[in-house]
Protein backbone atom coordinates (compact mmCIF):
# COMPACT_ATOMS: atom_id res chain seq x y z
CA UNK A 1 0.00 0.00 0.00
CA UNK A 2 1.49 3.30 1.14
CA UNK A 3 -1.07 5.39 -0.66
CA UNK A 4 -3.56 7.60 1.12
CA UNK A 5 -7.16 6.59 0.39
CA UNK A 6 -8.36 9.99 -0.73
CA UNK A 7 -11.61 8.65 -2.18
CA UNK A 8 -13.17 7.80 1.14
CA UNK A 9 -12.87 11.30 2.58
CA UNK A 10 -14.72 14.54 1.94
CA UNK A 11 -13.24 17.26 -0.27
CA UNK A 12 -12.92 19.48 2.79
CA UNK A 13 -10.98 16.88 4.71
CA UNK A 14 -8.67 16.33 1.77
CA UNK A 15 -8.21 20.02 1.10
CA UNK A 16 -7.41 20.88 4.68
CA UNK A 17 -4.96 18.01 4.99
CA UNK A 18 -3.23 18.98 1.75
CA UNK A 19 -2.78 22.57 2.86
CA UNK A 20 -1.60 21.58 6.32
CA UNK A 21 0.79 19.03 4.89
CA UNK A 22 2.36 21.71 2.72
CA UNK A 23 3.03 23.83 5.78
CA UNK A 24 3.88 21.03 8.19
CA UNK A 25 7.64 21.20 7.80
CA UNK A 26 9.94 23.42 9.83
CA UNK A 27 11.80 24.60 6.74
CA UNK A 28 8.60 25.61 5.02
CA UNK A 29 7.35 27.36 8.14
CA UNK A 30 10.65 29.24 8.30
CA UNK A 31 10.36 30.13 4.63
CA UNK A 32 6.85 31.45 5.09
CA UNK A 33 7.87 33.47 8.13
CA UNK A 34 10.70 35.00 6.15
CA UNK A 35 8.42 35.85 3.26
CA UNK A 36 5.93 37.42 5.65
CA UNK A 37 8.45 39.39 7.67
CA UNK A 38 10.17 40.69 4.54
CA UNK A 39 6.80 42.33 4.01
CA UNK A 40 6.73 42.37 0.25
CA UNK A 41 8.74 39.38 -0.86
CA UNK A 42 12.15 37.81 -1.20
CA UNK A 43 14.03 35.47 -3.46
CA UNK A 44 17.18 33.48 -2.90
CA UNK A 45 18.07 35.20 0.32
CA UNK A 46 16.32 32.22 1.84
CA UNK A 47 19.23 30.00 0.94
CA UNK A 48 21.45 32.14 3.14
CA UNK A 49 18.92 32.75 5.90
CA UNK A 50 18.17 29.07 6.45
CA UNK A 51 21.05 26.66 6.44
CA UNK A 52 19.83 24.50 3.57
CA UNK A 53 21.16 23.87 0.10
CA UNK A 54 19.81 25.84 -2.82
CA UNK A 55 18.21 22.75 -4.35
CA UNK A 56 16.43 22.00 -1.10
CA UNK A 57 15.01 25.49 -0.74
CA UNK A 58 13.88 25.48 -4.33
CA UNK A 59 12.08 22.21 -3.77
CA UNK A 60 10.30 23.51 -0.67
CA UNK A 61 9.27 26.62 -2.57
CA UNK A 62 7.88 24.42 -5.30
CA UNK A 63 5.75 22.51 -2.83
CA UNK A 64 4.39 25.69 -1.32
CA UNK A 65 3.64 26.96 -4.81
CA UNK A 66 1.95 23.71 -5.81
CA UNK A 67 -0.28 23.95 -2.78
CA UNK A 68 -1.14 27.48 -3.87
CA UNK A 69 0.18 29.01 -0.67
CA UNK A 70 2.79 31.21 -2.30
CA UNK A 71 3.20 32.79 -5.67
CA UNK A 72 6.40 33.51 -7.59
CA UNK A 73 7.09 36.35 -9.94
CA UNK A 74 10.12 36.46 -12.18
CA UNK A 75 12.07 39.69 -11.81
CA UNK A 76 14.95 39.51 -14.17
CA UNK A 77 17.31 36.86 -12.90
CA UNK A 78 15.65 36.67 -9.53
CA UNK A 79 12.30 35.27 -8.52
CA UNK A 80 10.19 37.07 -6.02
CA UNK A 81 7.93 35.00 -3.80
CA UNK A 82 4.99 36.17 -1.79
CA UNK A 83 1.96 34.83 0.00
CA UNK A 84 -1.12 34.00 -2.07
CA UNK A 85 -3.77 35.88 -0.07
CA UNK A 86 -6.73 33.80 -1.22
CA UNK A 87 -5.25 30.49 -0.17
CA UNK A 88 -4.01 31.97 3.07
CA UNK A 89 -7.52 33.13 3.88
CA UNK A 90 -8.96 29.78 2.86
CA UNK A 91 -6.58 27.97 5.16
CA UNK A 92 -7.37 30.35 7.96
CA UNK A 93 -11.10 29.78 7.66
CA UNK A 94 -10.82 26.02 7.24
CA UNK A 95 -8.62 25.81 10.31
CA UNK A 96 -10.76 28.21 12.25
CA UNK A 97 -13.86 26.15 11.79
CA UNK A 98 -12.01 22.90 12.42
CA UNK A 99 -10.17 23.99 15.52
CA UNK A 100 -13.16 25.97 16.71
CA UNK A 101 -15.49 23.01 16.48
CA UNK A 102 -14.05 21.70 19.71
CA UNK A 103 -15.45 23.31 22.80
CA UNK A 104 -13.92 22.40 26.10
CA UNK A 105 -16.14 19.59 27.34
CA UNK A 106 -18.07 19.45 30.55
CA UNK A 107 -16.76 15.96 31.05
CA UNK A 108 -14.85 13.40 29.14
CA UNK A 109 -13.54 9.89 29.60
Partner DNA sequence: ATTTTATATCGCAATATTACGATTATAATA
Partner DNA sequence: TATTATAATCGTAATATTGCGATATAAAAT
Quick one: three-class SS letters along 4-68?
A: CCHHHCCHHHHHHHHHHHHHCCHHHHHHHHHHHHCCCCECCHHHHHCCCCHHHHHHHHHHHHHCC
Residue placing its CB nearer to DNA in the complex, 43 or 94: 43
**Site residues for its own copies per CB under 8 A:** 4-6, 8-10, 13-14, 16-17, 20-21, 23-30, 32-33, 36-37, 39-41, 50-52, 73, 75, 80-83, 85, 88, 91-92, 95, 98-99, 101-102, 104-105, 107-109
Residue placing its CB nearer to its own copies in the complex, 62 or 84: 84
Amino acid sequence: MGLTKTEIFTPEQNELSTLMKAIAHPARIAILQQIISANACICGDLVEELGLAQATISQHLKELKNAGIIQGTIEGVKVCYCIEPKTWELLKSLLDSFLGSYKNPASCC
